[in-house]
Chain A
Amino acid sequence: MPDPAQVHLLVNNVPVTVAQGTTVASAILIAGIPTRRSVTGEPRGPLCGMGICFECRATIDETQHQRSCQVLCAEGMEVRTT
């Protein structure tokens, strides 16, 4: 029986299990990887946590450029960082 309080998702094909209510940005931090590479190739992670800086954008279920701090993790979700 899956634990209803836990959500399973894939971050760059790696399974990550988080508590329900976790944002995708927090899941990416838990996975320990940058959210994106800047235009000159720097690694970046979330900055503002409130949807204004766009540093946390990632591809979520094939939709590009989602601000991952504004999206909650869902069972079976697939997240890709660049």
Chain B
Amino acid sequence: MIERLDILVVGAGPAGIAAAVTAAAAGKRVGLVDDNPAAGGQIWRSGAAQPTAARTWLERLAASSVVRLQGWRIVDAPSSGLLRAEGNRGCRDLGYDQLILATGARERFLPFPGWTLPNVMGVGGLDAMVRGGLPIAGKRVVVAGTGPLLLAVAAHLTRKGAKIVAIAEQASLRRFVPFVSSLLGEPAKMMQGVEYALSTFGSRVYTGCWPVAASGKEMLDTVTLRMGERQWEERCDYLACGFHLVPNLELPALMMCHIDNGFVVVDGSQQTSISGVFCAGEPTGIGGMEMAILEGEIAGLAAAGKMDAANDRSQRRRRSLGFVRALSTVTELDPRLKQLATDATLVCRCEDVSFGRLRDHASWREAKLHTRCGMGACQGRVCGAASEFLFGWDAGSIHSSVRPPLYPVQVSSLGHPDKLADEGDSLSPACVLAPKEIE
């Protein structure tokens, strides 16, 4: 039996929660499916003090009629109006009339010698591990890469007792300072902690600076940083390194939503090129939490047919687009970062394909066919974004190479839906279905 929902929302971060809660308040039967153990997405992870906005929206979600499928990932869109979700012990098909994609973003990772060593992680990556129970007190951490996440995570890890050895931001001081100033002029923005972070880390914040090597035997112990002509080593337990965010476009691409310049194209009501399919949050442009909530509300209202209210918010969204532009300018990558990888440096971590084996290929497709780059477990989620920057390969071809299943799946999930283990649990309003509830 296939459950049919008026509106299905994919992704329970700020955009998805706002969309689901808003649509449910308009009287629709709404489902919210998400692959993490708990709602909140990457930014509203539990395990730490939650910002007010997070508490408010998570409470609204808990009090709503939204059917929540937590710990389920979408693996296929087998036919129009249908998505297939896989949990840890089974699979179920979800029918919908309207779909809202709020798939969020991931970090962009760039290869440099030693980046595959254990304890070299993303910036959000290390933060997620700490929020997931990793003790960090007394540990020496280098935070590197680019974007507002660096200072925000450094501030959080400091509160948890970590010793931040250095913060290496690739953007030049000339770009970085005006950006921070513009954020401070808008106190409601996500970087409220910037002033605090700068006063705390002061001399340990390096701009125009990046890691050129990570080293250690079996595990990280030293990071080499470079700033202009100066190069030095920092001993540390963890390197948190991420070069801002790239949107999760696999599902929008699979559904054939029009993608331009790396983002899903939407109209004023957040509707994509596919009628009845909406998109909200980072996949439409990296704009941060407040923008994501606004877009989620617009999509939820529009999908529920409340066009007047959607239009009101859409005008507010247009006024906030300046922030999105400022963010994309400051996080623009320095071309010298293309020279960090040596011929021996791995680019594809799943299939262990080195930079030297990739650099002479003309396209993502050619590289995949000849080297298996991007064909391992992560399906190019890490090396795709890196390759786009390193080799200038057409991003469109990387997105168009998406095929189902979107993630490696259990063999049983490939079967006919009638044979899938989706009987038994009905989706009653406000129910929360964890993956292990299906046997």
Task: Using CB atoms and an 8 Å cutoff, list the residues of chain A in contact with chain B.
Answer: 18-19, 21-23, 25-27, 29-30, 34-35, 38-40, 42-55, 57, 63, 65-66, 69-73
Contacts and interface: CB of A to CB of B under 8 A. Distances in A.
A44 B125 contact: no
A78 B361 CA distance: 43
A23 B382 contact: no
A68 to B, nearest CB: 10
B125 A49 contact: yes
A66 B89 CA distance: 11
Contacts of B117: 43, 45
A23 B128 CA distance: 10
A44 B134 contact: no
Given A39-B376, A45-B219, A46-B121, 16 more contacts: A25-B129, A26-B130, A26-B132, A30-B134, A38-B116, A43-B118, A49-B122, A49-B126, A49-B129, A52-B378, A52-B381, A53-B349, A53-B382, A54-B378, A63-B88, A66-B88
A75 to B, nearest CB: 14
Contacts of B71: 70
Interface of B: 35-37, 42, 46-47, 71, 73, 88, 106-107, 109, 116-122, 124-130, 132-135, 218-219, 248, 346, 349-352, 376-378, 381-382, 408
B349 A38 contact: yes
19 contacts: A18-B133, A19-B133, A29-B119, A30-B135, A34-B219, A42-B346, A43-B219, A45-B117, A45-B118, A48-B124, A49-B121, A49-B122, A49-B128, A49-B132, A50-B125, A51-B73, A53-B381, A54-B377, A70-B35
A53 B377 CA distance: 8
Contacts of A53: 349, 378, 381-382
A52 B104 CA distance: 12
Task: Give the most central of A29, A43, A63: most B CB within 10 Å.
Answer: A29
Contacts of B109: 47-48
A45 B133 contact: no
B133 A21 contact: yes
A18 B219 CA distance: 22
Pick the 10 closest A-B CB pairs, nearest first.
Answer: A22-B133, A49-B128, A45-B118, A23-B132, A54-B377, A49-B125, A26-B133, A26-B134, A26-B132, A40-B352
